[in-house]
Structure 1
Amino acid sequence: MAKKTINNRIDFSGIEKIIEYPDFLDLQLQSFKDFLQIETPAEKRQNEGLFKVFAENFPISDSRENFVLEFVDYTIDPPKYSVDECIDRGLTFSVPLKAKLRLTCNDEDNEDFETIEQEVFLGNIPYMTEKGSFVINGAERVIVSQLHRSPGVFFAMSKHTNGTKLYSARIIPFKGSWIEFATDVNSVMYAYIDRKKKFPVTTLLRAIGYGTDKDILDLFGLSEEVEATKNALKKVVNRKLAARVLKTWTEDFVDEDTGEVVSIDRNEVLLERDHVLTAEDVDVIVESGVKSIILHRDDVNVTDYHIIFNTLAKDNSNSEKEAVEQIYRQLRNTEAPDEQTARDIIQSLFFSEKRYDLGEVGRYRINKKLGLELSADQRVLTTQDIILIVKYLIGLVNSKALVDDIDHLSNRRVRTVGEQLYTQFGVGLARMARTIKERMNVRDNEDFKPVDLINARTLSSVINSFFGTNQLSQFMDQTNPLAEITHKRRMSALGPGGLSRERAGFEVRDV
Structure 2
Amino acid sequence: MMTEKGTFIINGTERVVVSQLVRSPGVIFQPGERFRLRNLSKHQLVTGTIHPYRGEWIEFDVEQKPGKDPTAGTRVARKRRLSLFLLIRALGYDEENFPGFLESFVRHFDFLEGQWEKDRELVVTQEEALIEIYKRARPGEPATPDSARNYFTNAFFEPRRYDLSRVGRYKLNRKLGPEIEKLQELFPQLKGRLDEPAIDQPVLSRCEVLASTTYLLNLAMGTHGYRLDDQDHFANRRIRSVGELIQNQVRIGLSRMERVVRERMTTQDVEAITPTTLINIRPVVAAIKEFFGTSQLSQFMDQVNPLSGLTHRRRLSALGPGGLSRERAGFEVRDVHFSHYGRMCPIETPEGPNIGLIGALATFGRVNEFGFIETPYRKVINGKVTDEIMYLSADEEEEYVVAQANTPVDEKGNFRAERVLVRRSPQAASLSDLRLQLERDEFLGATTEISAVPPEEVQLMDVSPRQIVSVAAALIPFLEHDDANRALMGANMQRQAVPLLRAEAPYIGTGIESRAARDAADMILADEDGVVVEVDGSHIVVDYKKSGKRTYKLHKFERSNQDTCINQRPRVDEGQKLKAGDVLAEGPSTDNGELALGKNLLVAFMPWEGYNFEDAIILNERIVRDDVLTSIHIKQHEVDARDTKLGPEEITRDIPNLSEEILADLDERGIIRVGAEVNPGDVLVGKVTPKGETELTPEERLLRAIFGEKAREVRDTSLKVPHGEVGKVIDVKVFSRDDSHELPPGVNQLVRIFVAQKRKISVGDKLAGRHGNKGVISAILPSEDMPFMEDGSPVDVILNPLGVPSRMNVGQVLETHLGWAARWGWTDGNTEVGENPIRGTETKTRPTTRPATLVATPVFDGAKWDEVELAGKHPTIKKIFENLHPEAADGTRLIGSDGKVTLYNGRTGERYDNPITVGYKYILKLAHLVDDKIHARSTGPYSMITQQPLGGKAQFGGQRFGEMEVWALEAYGAAYCLQELLTIKSDDTLGRVKVYEAIVKGENIPEPGIPESFKVLIKEMQALCLNVEVLSQNGEEIKMRELDEDFFRAAEELGIDLSRPERGTDEDDARRQAGR
TM-score, scaled to structure 2: 0.28
- Matches of 2:128 and 2:291, distance apart in 1: 45
CA positional deviation for 1:329: 1.3
Identical residues among aligned pairs (%): 44
2:53 alignment partner, one of 158, 167, 174: 174
Distance 1:423 1:487, change over 3 A: same
Partners of 1:145 and 1:417 within 8 A in 2? yes
CA positional deviation for 1:341: 2.1
Deviations 1:426-450 (A, max 9, x none): 0010011001111111113341211
Confirm whether residue 384 of structure 1 aligns to residue 222 of structure 2: no
RMSD: 2.2
CA positional deviation for 1:314: 4.0
2:321 alignment partner, one of 493, 496, 503: 496
Distance 1:308 1:361, change over 3 A: farther
1:380-459, aligned counterparts within 5 Å?
380-400=203-223, 401-459=226-284
Stretch deviating more after TM superposition (381-390 or 177-186): 177-186
1:507 alignment partner, one of 308, 327, 332: 332
Partners of 1:307 and 1:394 within 8 A in 2? no
CA positional deviation for 1:137: 1.2
Distance 1:346 1:185, change over 3 A: same
1:350 alignment partner, one of 156, 165, 174: 156
2:112 equivalent in structure 1: 307
CA positional deviation for 1:321: 1.5
For residue 396 of structure 1, what is the amino acid of its counterpart?
L
1:54-453, aligned counterparts within 5 Å?
127-160=1-34, 161=39, 162=41, 164-186=43-65, 187-212=70-95, 215=98, 218=101, 221-222=104-105, 304-307=109-112, 309-310=114-115, 313-314=118-119, 316-334=122-140, 336=142, 338-372=144-178, 374-400=197-223, 401-453=226-278
- Matches of 2:205 and 2:19, distance apart in 1: 31
CA positional deviation for 1:219: 5.4
Partners of 2:197 and 2:204 within 8 A in 1? no
For residue 452 of structure 1, what is the amino acid of its counterpart?
T
- Matches of 1:487 and 1:169, distance apart in 2: 36
Partners of 2:46 and 2:62 within 8 A in 1? yes
Partners of 1:202 and 1:312 within 8 A in 2? no
TM-score, scaled to structure 1: 0.57
- Matches of 1:386 and 1:308, distance apart in 2: 21
For residue 397 of structure 1, what is the amino acid of its counterpart?
A
CA positional deviation for 1:190: 1.8
CA positional deviation for 1:159: 3.2
Deviations 1:407-443 (A, max 9, x none): 0111111111000011000001001100111111111
For residue 193 of structure 1, what is the amino acid of its counterpart?
V
- Matches of 2:56 and 2:3, distance apart in 1: 37
- Matches of 1:437 and 1:215, distance apart in 2: 43
- Matches of 1:497 and 1:308, distance apart in 2: 40
CA positional deviation for 1:185: 3.1
CA positional deviation for 1:336: 4.4
For residue 54 of structure 2, what is the amino acid of its counterpart?
K
1:76 equivalent in structure 2: none
Look up the SS of the partner of 2:309 in the other structure.
helix
When Rg is computed on C-alpha atoms for both structures, the one with the higher figure is 2
- Matches of 2:100 and 2:164, distance apart in 1: 29
CA positional deviation for 1:482: 2.0
Look up the SS of the partner of 1:410 in the other structure.
coil
Partners of 1:336 and 1:342 within 8 A in 2? no
2:741 equivalent in structure 1: none
Deviations 1:97-152 (A, max 9, x none): xxxxxxxxxxxxxxxxxxxxxxxxxxxxxx21222111111111111011111110
Partners of 1:325 and 1:335 within 8 A in 2? no
Partners of 2:131 and 2:143 within 8 A in 1? no
Distance 1:217 1:407, change over 3 A: farther
- Matches of 1:312 and 1:351, distance apart in 2: 31
2:298 alignment partner, one of 473, 476, 490: 473
Look up the SS of the partner of 1:377 in the other structure.
coil
CA positional deviation for 1:320: 1.2
- Matches of 1:380 and 1:163, distance apart in 2: 34
Deviations 1:454-482 (A, max 9, x none): 22221111111111111111110101122
Distance 1:444 1:484, change over 3 A: same
Contiguous gaps of at least 5 residues in structure 1: 1-126, 224-299
CA positional deviation for 1:375: 3.4
1:273 equivalent in structure 2: none
- Matches of 1:387 and 1:197, distance apart in 2: 20
- Matches of 2:141 and 2:44, distance apart in 1: 36
For residue 57 of structure 2, what is the amino acid of its counterpart?
W
For residue 27 of structure 2, what is the amino acid of its counterpart?
V
**Structure number having the greater helix percentage:** 1
Look up the SS of the partner of 1:210 in the other structure.
coil
For residue 209 of structure 1, what is the amino acid of its counterpart?
G
Look up the SS of the partner of 1:376 in the other structure.
coil
- Matches of 1:310 and 1:337, distance apart in 2: 26
- Matches of 2:273 and 2:95, distance apart in 1: 55
Look up the SS of the partner of 2:81 in the other structure.
strand
Look up the SS of the partner of 1:465 in the other structure.
helix
For residue 146 of structure 1, what is the amino acid of its counterpart?
Q
For residue 155 of structure 1, what is the amino acid of its counterpart?
F
Q: Which has the higher contact order (CA 8 A, sep 6+)?
A: 1
Look up the SS of the partner of 1:371 in the other structure.
helix
- Matches of 2:138 and 2:197, distance apart in 1: 32
Distance 1:431 1:335, change over 3 A: closer
Partners of 1:155 and 1:404 within 8 A in 2? yes
Deviations 1:67-89 (A, max 9, x none): xxxxxxxxxxxxxxxxxxxxxxx
CA positional deviation for 1:338: 3.2
Partners of 2:44 and 2:61 within 8 A in 1? no
Distance 1:460 1:216, change over 3 A: farther
Contiguous gaps of at least 5 residues in structure 2: 179-195, 337-1076
For residue 115 of structure 2, what is the amino acid of its counterpart?
N
Distance 1:432 1:171, change over 3 A: same
CA positional deviation for 1:311: 5.1
Distance 1:311 1:140, change over 3 A: farther
1:287 equivalent in structure 2: none
Deviations 1:357-383 (A, max 9, x none): 111111111111123484331221111
For residue 313 of structure 1, what is the amino acid of its counterpart?
K
For residue 280 of structure 2, what is the amino acid of its counterpart?
N
